[in-house]
């Protein structure tokens, strides 16, 4: 487990913004600043897809975005790249089933936050045993932001996990907007993670505020 207790992790998951340069048609720095003003609670740097930055450029953007998060007291999570997370002393790492073995990641990152994407009960049990601080469940709805996704799960997956007594903090991902975020929370999610609903919004701050309002209204 990380230095944060699970109550704090649940709070951090409320509105979890994920972004890399390929998700933005504007300066990612501007997008992140606006998203923070709008009320995001956690940020993940996910530099992936066609045209993604690599090497020094990837590190440079990570450091820029990390500084913005630090100044706003928003924990900074790195997707997949454990080496990068350790190099820049990020607050945590998020890995999927196809990435570095979660148990090995936990050993490498010590008490930083560890998030793991899971799609089945068996994956969830393994993730928890490996030291996950939270589970990412999805895609809840169809998404344009990730090509190699598992099948669409609906909010039923979250509800099933809760009914099967999975008490680990859960965040839903995939196609979540201010119109359906309430369903994710009602199903038992502690928060929502989004890429396009914030990164591609015309008015980033306003879109973030709307999402936050929907989640807050439904959190018990």
35 binds ligand TZP (CB under 6 A): no
139 binds ligand TZP (CB under 6 A): yes
149 binds ligand TZP (CB under 6 A): yes
Which of 172, 175, 189, 191 lies at the binding interface for ligand TZP (CB under 6 A)?
175
The count of chain residues that interact with ligand TZP, using the rule CB under 6 A, is 14
Which of 28, 38, 96, 138 lies at the binding interface for Mg ion (CB under 5 A)?
96
Is 195 one of the annotated binding-site residues?
yes
Is 122 one of the annotated binding-site residues?
no
Active site residues: 46, 117, 146
Contacts with Mg ion, 41-80, as mask; x by CB under 5 A: ---------------------------------------x
Least Å from the CB of residue 117 to Mg ion:
7
**149 or 182: whose CB is closer to ligand TZP?**
149
The residues, ordered by sequence, that sit 6+ positions from 211 with a Cβ below 8 Å of its Cβ are: 15, 38, 177, 178, 181, 192, 194, 197, 198
Binds 191, which of ligand TZP, Mg ion, none (CB < 5 to 8 A, cut-off by type)? none
Residues binding Mg ion (CB under 5 A): 80, 96, 99
Residues binding ligand TZP (CB under 6 A): 138-139, 143, 145-146, 149, 173-176, 194-197
């Amino acid at each position: 487990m990380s230095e944060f207790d699970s109550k704090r992790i649940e709070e951090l998951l409320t509105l979890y913004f994920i972004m890399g340069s390929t998700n933005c048609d504007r300066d990612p720095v501007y997008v992140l600043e606006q998203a923070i003003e709008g009320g995001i609670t956690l940020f993940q740097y996910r530099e992936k897809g066609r045209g993604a930055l690599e090497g020094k450029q990837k590190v440079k953007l990570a450091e820029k975005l990390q500084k913005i998060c630090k100044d706003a007291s928003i924990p900074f999570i790195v997707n997949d790249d454990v080496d990068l997370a350790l190099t820049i002393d990020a607050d945590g790492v998020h890995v999927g089933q196809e990435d570095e073995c979660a148990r090995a990641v936990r050993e490498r990152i010590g008490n930083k936050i560890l998030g793991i994407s899971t799609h089945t009960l068996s994956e969830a049990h393994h993730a928890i045993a490996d030291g996950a601080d939270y589970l990412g469940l999805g895609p809840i709805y169809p998404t344009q932001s990730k090509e190699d996704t598992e099948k669409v799960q609906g909010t039923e997956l979250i509800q099933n996990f809760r009914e099967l007594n999975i008490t680990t903090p859960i965040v839903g991902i995939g196609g979540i907007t201010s119109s359906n975020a309430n369903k994710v929370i009602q199903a038992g999610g502690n928060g929502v993670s989004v890429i396009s609903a914030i990164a591609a919004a015309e008015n980033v701050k306003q879109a973030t505020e709307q999402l936050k309002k929907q989640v807050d209204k439904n959190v018990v």
